Structure 1
């Protein structure tokens, strides 16, 4: 009897958040927000704590409700662009090995930042840049909406159930879960609520992510 041919396995894809997941930008973000707060005569620590939980426009509404939000955003963008040019960035341990070990076209970046800044940071750290970056300008709704991750999957030609999301932040984790994807958390001592697997560091997750991508 001739056996049936084995069913072709669908390709798997990996979708990465950037800041806090692949690149350590905490100090940079804190400095940018501190400088922004100083311009508006606000307490830097209080502003940063709000910024950690909300998107910029929501942050402005809470900490500087009497100021023009467009002007607030323009000032923040100016500071962020300057930081990309002058700031010191470091990739998390294992990031270069991980991205270099994934097949081209099998992974993408999904970020609440903007593509030109991401590319600048990747150049500074020497990380390989993927073909696809879904940034804040590419979607109408940011994380925790599932739209950024669904957009990335669609552009890769992947089904959500074949995608692994690698995140460090609660809003990103919720976005990946709402998109119907597998979500792993990295770079935190305590697991973010909802993740399917948790790794204290990106380095610890590297072999498991590569295994996922290759169906091992």
Structure 2
């Protein structure tokens, strides 16, 4: 089988795990308790794909809100409890299984903190499948939209970034993949997908839009796999 890419690099939230709305509910409730009232739609539009550091900057610059003492401990506890219930984006396990069966390497590159990245993969049942995952701490904190995470992930897989596919669900992530030199497809499969997101992903540089994991497997030219718990990569 001739494969179109050397490797596939996935974002995590909204691409493999359906965590965006869970996080959104927690954040909106906590912010309301600490002086900032914001709608779920407005917060979602600003937060998807951002690192925590950049999210705080957005809240400060756009709303004049700064986190009070003790806020991070509260948010950590609430978010971790919520992510215990996160599920895979439908079809994600089958996609990883199909990639493994075809011998096409893949990795996760996420703006999530390492502990939370691991928590979400485990809760969604994808931790055994994903043996290569990367977070901003591994690239000096230079998370998306900077290209460093994707460049690092490709190098770790021994792949040429210009022959890698990045799968993203946010403009921030698409910008990172494009800046790295990868081909970038926008995936619109999570619960958080909203009106206007297709246009935002295309404006950020997504070369193609995919609407579910079954479509992604087909677009990659892979046979669908019935296995829901793919084996680890060598």
**Cα displacement (A) at 1:207:** 2.3
Normalising to structure 1: TM-score of the pair?
A: 0.80
CA distance in 2, matches of 1:102, 1:53: 24
Which residue of structure 2 aligns with residue 148 of structure 1? 149
Contact 1:145 1:178 in 2 (8 A): yes
Highest relative contact order (Cα 8 Å, sep 6+), 1 or 2? 2
SS of match in other structure, 2:145: coil
* Shift of residue 197, structure 1, vs aligned partner: 1.5
Are 1:101 and 2:95 an aligned pair? no
User: What is the alpha-carbon distance in structure 2 between the residues aligned to residue 130 and residue 53 of structure 1?
Assistant: 20
Cα distance, 1:50–1:71 mapped onto 2, change above 3 Å: farther
- Give, in whole Å, the separation in 2 of the partners of 1:33 and 1:155: 33
Q: Does 1:16 align with 2:16?
A: no
Q: Which runs of 5+ in 2 are unaligned?
A: 223-234
CA contact (8 A) 1:21 1:168 kept: yes
CA contact (8 A) 2:18 2:88 kept: yes
Listed as ranges, the gaps of 5+ residues in structure 1 are 1-8, 212-216
**Does the 8 Å CA contact 2:7/2:159 hold for their aligned counterparts?**
yes
The 4+ residue runs of structure 1 with deviation greater than 6 A are none
Q: Counterpart of 1:19 in 2: which secondary structure?
A: coil
How far 1:25 sits from its partner (Å)?
Answer: 1.5
Report the counterpart of residue 47 of structure 2 in structure 1: 51
Residue in structure 2 matched with residue 207 of structure 1 by the alignment: 218
- Match of residue 118 from structure 1: 117
Instruction: Give RMSD over aligned pairs.
Output: 2.9
Q: Which has the larger radius of gyration?
A: 1
Change (3 A) 1:125 1:68: closer
Q: Does 1:198 pair with 2:199?
A: no
Structure-1 residue corresponding to 2:34: 40
> In 2, are the aligned partners of 1:47 and 1:59 still within 8 Å (CA)?
no
2:130: which partner in 1?
130
Q: Deviations over 1:61-118 (max 9, x none)?
A: 2366464577544443332222223xx3221222111111223781110111122222
**Is the 8 Å Cα contact of residues 94 and 206 (structure 1) preserved in structure 2?**
no
Q: CA deviation at 1:60?
A: 3.8
Q: What is the CA deviation profile of residues 131-169 of structure 1, one whole-angstrom value per residue up to 9, with x for unaligned ones?
A: 221113222211111111011111222111121100111
Q: Secondary structure at the match of 1:24?
A: coil
1:84 is aligned to: 83
